[in-house]
Each structure stands twice: as C-alpha cells, then as structure tokens.
C-alpha cells in the first residue's frame, strides 16, 4: 500500500499567523490524520475567517475536498479555505488563555523541534489550495437595497471541488427582482447573508473532476434565481450554472436569462400563434415589452402596444416602431376604444387593474391573457362578457418557475439557441445600459429604483 507523507516544512511568524505548510498537497479527512497521529492539535491559517486554533477531537468532522474545508462542530457548518496547517503532540501542556501571539511565541521559541510529528496518511489524493482575493456585493439582512447592500472583500479558494466550477463573473444587471429580493418581498429568498443579483454571465476558469456539462473557457449564466451574480469570482455547484453561446456579445449575454426568455415563452407556450396573428400588450416600453415586439416581428406576428402617455410620446412611439411594433397606443386610447383590433389571440399583461380589464376585452374567441407583472399594484381585472361568451382564459407566468419545472435541459437549450441566433444576426437589438463598477453600487442601485430609462449594469471583469 502506498503512503503520502505529510511533513511539516519550515515555520515562521508574521502578522497573519503563518507558521508552516504541509508538504503533502492536501489532506482529505482530518479524522484520518487524528487516527494516525493520535489526539493531535490542529492549527491553521484561515483565509475566510480570523486565524484560529482547533483541537482535533472537538470537531465532529473536518474534511478537505479539493482544497475546500468543511468544518462541523455542534451542528454548525462553516466553509473556509485552509491555507497553512501544522500538527503537534497533544500531550504538551498549553497554558490557559495563551492567545495566538503567546502560542506563536511558544511554538517558535520554547518547544524543541522534536515535538513535531512526522505523520503518514494512507492513500490520499492531494492538491494545493491557493486563496484568491475577490469582491462581492452582499447583504446580511433585508432592507432598503442601497443601504442593505455592502461591498465586501473576501478570499476564496481557487480550486473547485469535484462537482464545482470556478467562475469569473463578467457582467450582471440590476433587475427589479434583485431589489425585491433584497427587500425580502420576492418569492425566492436565499440564505442570509447573501450576494445580490440573479442574472449575469461569467467565464468558467476551472472545473472539478466530475463536471461534465461545462468546461474551462465556457460562458455560463445562473441556472436558477438566488445564485448571487454581483461578485467577481465564485465557486458554484455544476448544477447552479447553465452553458450559453460563447459568441454572444456582452450586451446580450448579461441579460440573456430573464427578459428575452420571458417574452419567448409567453409567445410560444399559451396560444399557437401563426403569421398574421395579433398580440396586444401593455407596458410595451418595458424590457420584456421590447423583446416581445422584436420576437413578434421576427415571427411575422402583429403587435399592438399600449404605453402610458408622456411628454416624449412621439420619441417613444418611434423607438418602438423601429423595433418592429405595428401599432402603439396610449392607455387613454385603449380605454376609449378609439381603435379596433380584430382577431387578437394573445394579451400580455404586466400592469393589472383597469389596463388589464380593457386588454382582456380585446381578445378574440378562445384568446388568452397572460399576466407576468403587476406594476400598478392593482388586482387583475377581467370583463365578464368575454369570459363567458368568448371563452377567454387568464393565465400567469413566472420565468423562474418555468426554469424550475424543466426536468431536462433540451427545451431550454433549444430556446437559447434560437434567441442567440437572432441576437448574433442583429434581428434582436442590443439593450442600452448604464455601466457601473462595484464600488459605485449605492448610486447604481438608487438609479435602478428611481430611473427607468436605461438598465443599470455592473461590469465585473
């Protein structure tokens, strides 16, 4: 049987409590170390928390897996990167309340070299774990987003576990759902403390030995809500990310997960639409609304688009018609029934209240109104006559739910492939952004809450 020898190399002192480094590249299971070396004391320099001294027997489990250490004691779990470790004989008497400085002095000056153990560990797979510095926008509790979010500097390991991927995040937007999540009013609530951001894209730097779906150099997006994309680097489970087209420009890739798929699925999943059919929507100048207009144009479907009246209405009408809108009307024109739109098969509602009432009234026999938002904060209204005599239906749609119920990736891959082709060909236009760095987070989040002309985007690369 082969053995990997664990040797204590040179040890020295500095402000970071760095004494020694194991000659072996990694130790997988501390319990094996304790079993061979007796009731050893373990001390380590931790990159994710202050330096600490651990008594081996006190921990129920302490495992290395490809460089990450999971420490469990009395039911509490902490993940950290153990950079430097030394072992010494537990029979030595350690004064009470010695503290780290006193402990360092004793190790370096008072104890003879002979007390250091030479331990052998059976059949261990070894790897070096290096700590890397990174920044992220995190929140420890729910609250007003500009105040709750803080820029944090942390150290993480650079080697993924067997089922992990190491990702360099490149760009991530600020979406309304991100703000709602920080406020604590969004259905998806990550475990606190949490990193903000549900959308964005990154580049895979390295992968664990068991990872099959992505490889080094691939571009990925979150597989589901709550991952936390407002960060520079991240170690994630393979199942937490999803492969996208590497050739997508940043302006498309950063917002590839939410708005384009929302528009795509609503046009594909509720009514069988064919060329020449008509779709009506309110909130047409929203991010999703603009995607709906463009996909309708590509598919040969007519779009009737309802917007609020405003001072720059002519400019907005021109913008939407340049994207492919067939008709653009104000809410007042919708309520006044000044225009007739026969044969409307599908209505898309993100406003609610009175707007949804008149939107549904435009539906033809067997038509469907899909609600995916509630900007007016009013209940969805439906006219009784069309509901009875035209057999119209009301449905709800949430993109996160659609992702959750997909058991296999094929349908998602098919959607992403078609969207990416439209984007790369220029059939779908790039969205305008205000670019921000992480250190500008307070202003960027405030603008995302109060200014809606352009989406705020964090550039992380």
Model confidence pLDDT, tens digit, residues 22-38 = 323 333 333 333 333 33
pLDDT band for 171, please (50, 70, 90 cuts): very high
Question: Is 99 a residue whose pLDDT tops 80?
Answer: no
Helix-strand-coil percent breakdown of the chain, rounded to 5?
30, 30, 40
Query: Looking at residue 126, what is its pLDDT?
Result: 30
- Determine contact, residues 277/326, Cβ cutoff 8 Å: no
The answer to whether position 199 is within a domain reads: yes
Query: Looking at residue 337, what is its pLDDT?
Result: 78
Q: Which residue has the higher pLDDT, 99 or 227?
A: 227
In total, how many domains does the chain have?
3
How large a percentage of the chain has pLDDT more than 90? 61
- Distance from C-alpha of 331 to C-alpha of 145, rounded to nearest angstrom: 31
Query: Looking at residue 453, what is its pLDDT?
Result: 76
Question: Is 129 a residue whose pLDDT tops 70?
Answer: no
- Distance from C-alpha of 200 to C-alpha of 207, rounded to nearest angstrom: 19
Supply the CATH number for residue 378's domain. 3.40.50.720
Q: Report, as an integer, the average pLDDT of 145-162.
A: 89
Q: Report, as an integer, the average pLDDT of 406-418.
A: 95
- Active centre residues (catalytic): 186
265 and 250 housed in the same domain: no
- Determine contact, residues 334/365, Cβ cutoff 8 Å: no
The answer to whether position 106 is within a domain reads: yes
The answer to whether position 298 is within a domain reads: yes
Q: Report, as an integer, the average pLDDT of 352-377.
A: 94
Query: Looking at residue 54, what is its pLDDT?
Result: 35
286 and 342 housed in the same domain: yes
Q: What is the largest CA-CA distance in the chain?
A: 95
Tell me how crowded residue 246 is: count the other CB atoms within 10 A of its CB. 12
Supply the CATH number for residue 136's domain. 3.90.180.10
228 and 274 housed in the same domain: no
Query: Looking at residue 185, what is its pLDDT?
Result: 93
Domain that holds residue 41: 3-122
pLDDT band for 330, please (50, 70, 90 cuts): very high
CA distances to 35, 79, 285, 293, 364 from 320, in Å: 71, 49, 7, 8, 24
Question: Is 262 a residue whose pLDDT tops 90?
Answer: yes
Q: What is the DSSP letter of 56?
A: G
End-to-end CA distance of the chain: 47
Q: Report, as an integer, the average pLDDT of 86-102.
A: 44
Give tens-digit pLDDT for 197-244: 999 999 999 999 999 999 999 999 999 889 999 999 999 999 999 999
152 and 250 housed in the same domain: yes
Q: Report, as an integer, the average pLDDT of 167-174.
A: 97
Give tens-digit pLDDT for 294-328: 999 999 999 999 999 998 999 999 999 999 999 99
Instruction: Name the phi and psi angles at 268, rounded to 5.
Output: -105, -30
DSSP characters over 171-185: EEE--HHHHHHHHT-
237 and 370 housed in the same domain: no
The answer to whether position 420 is within a domain reads: no
Q: Considering only 296-300, 379-383, 395-399, which range has the smallest mean pLDDT?
A: 379-383
Query: Looking at residue 160, what is its pLDDT?
Result: 87
Query: Looking at residue 100, what is its pLDDT?
Result: 45
The answer to whether position 417 is within a domain reads: no
Q: Which residues on adjacent β-strands are paired with residue 43? A: 53, 86
Question: Is 95 a residue whose pLDDT tops 60?
Answer: no
Question: Is 71 a residue whose pLDDT tops 60?
Answer: no
Give tens-digit pLDDT for 399-409: 999 999 998 99
Strand locations in 11-163 (E): 41-46, 52-55, 61-65, 68-73, 76-88, 119-122, 131-139, 150-157
Q: Which residues on adjacent β-strands are paired with residue 169? A: 202
Instruction: Point out the domain boundary residue: 99, 122, 145.
Output: 122
102 and 171 housed in the same domain: no
Give tens-digit pLDDT for 423-457: 999 999 999 999 999 999 999 999 999 887 789 99
Query: Looking at residue 456, what is its pLDDT?
Result: 96
270 and 248 housed in the same domain: no
Cβ contacts of 345 within 8 Å, gap of 6 or more? 271, 273, 277, 278, 279, 363, 364, 366, 367, 368
The answer to whether position 406 is within a domain reads: no
Q: Report, as an integer, the average pLDDT of 167-184.
A: 96
176 and 93 housed in the same domain: no
376 and 331 housed in the same domain: yes
Instruction: Point out the domain boundary residue: 381, 401, 421.
Output: 401
Determine the 3-state secondary structure of 251 from DSSP: helix
Task: Give me 289's structure tokens.
Answer: 């609304």
Average pLDDT, the chain: 77
How large a percentage of the chain has pLDDT more than 70? 71
Instruction: Point out the domain boundary residue: 82, 98, 122.
Output: 122
168 and 290 housed in the same domain: no
Question: Is 131 a residue whose pLDDT tops 70?
Answer: no
Question: Is 97 a residue whose pLDDT tops 90?
Answer: no
Q: Report, as an integer, the average pLDDT of 130-136.
A: 81
DSSP characters over 284-299: TTSHHHHHHHHHHHHH
Structure-token match 């009307």, residue found? 329
Question: Is 418 a residue whose pLDDT tops 90?
Answer: yes
Query: Looking at residue 45, what is its pLDDT?
Result: 32
Give tens-digit pLDDT for 50-67: 233 333 322 222 333 223
Determine the 3-state secondary structure of 313 from DSSP: helix
- Determine contact, residues 348/279, Cβ cutoff 8 Å: yes
229 and 325 housed in the same domain: no
Given strand 150-157, what is the order of strands in its sheet?
150-157, 131-139, 194-195
- Distance from C-alpha of 166 to C-alpha of 216, rounded to nearest angstrom: 9
The answer to whether position 408 is within a domain reads: no
271 and 205 housed in the same domain: no
The answer to whether position 407 is within a domain reads: no
- Distance from C-alpha of 458 to C-alpha of 461, rounded to nearest angstrom: 9
Q: What is the DSSP letter of 232?
A: S
């Amino acid at each position: 049987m082969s053995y990997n020898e664990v040797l204590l190399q040179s040890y020295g002192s500095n402000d970071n409590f760095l004494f020694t480094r194991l000659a072996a590249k990694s130790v997988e299971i501390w319990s094996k170390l304790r079993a061979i070396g007796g009731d050893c004391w373990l001390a380590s320099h931790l990159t994710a928390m202050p330096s600490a001294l651990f008594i081996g027997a006190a921990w129920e489990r302490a495992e290395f897996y490809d460089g990450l250490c999971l420490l469990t004691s009395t039911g509490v779990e902490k993940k950290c990167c153990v950079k430097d470790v030394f072992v010494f004989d537990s029979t030595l008497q350690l004064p009470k309340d010695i503290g780290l400085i006193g402990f360092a002095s004793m190790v370096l000056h008072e104890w003879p070299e002979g007390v250091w153990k030479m331990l052998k560990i059976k059949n261990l797979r070894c790897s070096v774990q290096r700590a890397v510095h990174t920044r992220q926008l995190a929140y420890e509790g729910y609250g007003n987003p500009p105040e709750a979010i803080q820029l944090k500097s942390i150290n993480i390991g650079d080697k993924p576990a067997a089922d992990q991927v190491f990702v360099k995040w490149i760009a991530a937007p600020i979406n309304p759902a991100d703000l709602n999540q920080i406020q604590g009013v969004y259905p998806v609530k990550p475990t606190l403390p949490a990193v903000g951001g549900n959308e964005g894209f990154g580049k895979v730097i390295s992968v664990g030995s068991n990872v099959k779906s992505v490889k080094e150099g691939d571009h990925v997006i979150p597989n589901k809500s709550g991952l936390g994309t407002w960060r520079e680097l991240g170690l994630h489970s393979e199942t937490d990310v999803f492969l996208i087209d590497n050739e997508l420009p940043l302006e498309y890739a950063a917002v590839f997960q939410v708005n384009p798929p929302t528009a795509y699925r609503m046009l594909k999943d509720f009514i069988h639409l064919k060329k020449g059919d008509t779709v009506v929507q309110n909130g047409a100048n929203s991010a999703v609304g603009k995607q709906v207009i463009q996909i309708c144009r590509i598919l040969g479907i007519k779009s009737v688009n309802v917007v609020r009246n405003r001072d720059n209405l002519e400019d907005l009408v021109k913008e939407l018609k340049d994207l492919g809108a067939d008709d653009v009307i104000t809410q007042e024109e919708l309520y006044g029934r000044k225009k007739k739109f026969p044969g409307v098969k599908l209505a898309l509602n993100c406003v609610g209240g009175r707007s949804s009432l008149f939107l549904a009234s435009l539906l033809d026999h067997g038509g469907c109104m899909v609600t995916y938002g509630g900007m007016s904060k009013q209940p969805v209204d439906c006219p009784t006559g069309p509901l009875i005599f035209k057999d119209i239906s009301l449905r709800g749609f949430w993109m996160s739910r659609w992702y959750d119920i997909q058991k296999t990736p094929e349908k998602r891959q098919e959607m992403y492939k078609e969207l990416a082709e439209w984007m790369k060909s220029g059939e779908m236009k790039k969205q305008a952004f205000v670019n921000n760095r992480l250190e500008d987070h307070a202003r960027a989040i405030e603008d995302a809450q109060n200014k809606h002309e352009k989406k705020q985007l964090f550039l992380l690369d």
